[in-house]
Chains A and B, each alone.
Chain A
Amino acid sequence: MNLEDINKLLDKLDQMNFSEVEIEIDKTKIHVKKATGEAPVGPTGKPVKQEQPFSDSVISSPMVGVVHLEKQLKVGQKVAVGDVVAQIESMKLFNDVTSSQAGVVSQLYVKDGDPVEFHQSLIALTKDNKHV
């Protein structure tokens, strides 16, 4: 990929609806995170606190509901692929949230029992070999 290709790709990506993406084409790896013009505004019109932890991946809620974190889940804890890290209660049903990555919990964005929306960040993970 040359610089022109990358520029074209970035233009294309700019028109698409996402906030962060990682793409690998012919050994060129691009990580794009979009700047969100203004700070998101919360229900009361006040800016929502932006969470910018050190993380390699974020586990987000697959649905609207109430989050129930696994009891033993703490910052610094190791998580394996497929581990259940939380449950989302929706219409009295409990839905498992599993980790698609192995890593170490670096931050919990939510408290047990918090209401959550679709794709709300729940847990940040860093890669196993890094310091937390």
Chain B
Amino acid sequence: METVDISTFSLLLAFILLLIPVLLSRFYGLGLIGDLLSSVARMSVQLLLIGVFLKYLFVWNNGLVNLSWLAVMILVAVFSAIRSSAMKPVKVLVPIFVAFSAATFVIVFYLNYFVIKLDDVFDARYLIVLGGMLLGNSLRGNIVGIDHFYRSIRKDTKKYLYVLSLGATHHEALLTYLRESVRLALKPTIAAMATMGIVSLPGMMTGVILGGTSPEVAIKYQIMIMIGIAASTTISVVLTIIMTLPVCFTKYGTLKNDIFVSGSI
């Protein structure tokens, strides 16, 4: 069963639905019209370009190109993560890039090789699509995790130094903050898994079903990707924190002052 194509004219009909939020925004004075329309325009252009790009990428299906594209996606995700946190990009770019890359590549290759059992683990349809889903979802968790970790140590400076003065090793002094941050980062994924299928039909499953695959197969893919997201989020948060420690702390174990964007904390 093929997915029913949407003609350009039909897609324009979907845009008519935008009249609803626009009119309501006007009526209630929400002030959202500008943001809404510019976001819709951005999304449409971005997806149009990526659609064309992916079409050629899937046709070409060269392992090295696919890997390079995934690396570009990781880099964009890293910039997005840093911009949303209070950290200075120049300080944390490299460690966060390494952490994201490790988390994404390890999980996507594991899924492709051991779970889906692909002959070509670099196949664009799997490498890029699954990698993108892992990245997109671990990104949110990562931002929450790293931001909470450094913000709470800064906020609790007195408490943190008191623990160091008690004779704690650096690891012992940081453990409470690491635990809290990873917990917080994983919370949305854990909550989403607990209600999946009842409260919402997840994106991947919907996509696979619309693609013509039976719901039984779609469910298996969804279960696999959710477990992958939980694992990659955990790896990326823990690795990001561990890898940023040497650049964010002095050798005395105190937090450096110059790692935050001024005025952000």
A binds B: no
Instruction: Report B's interface with A, CB cutoff 8 A.
Output: none
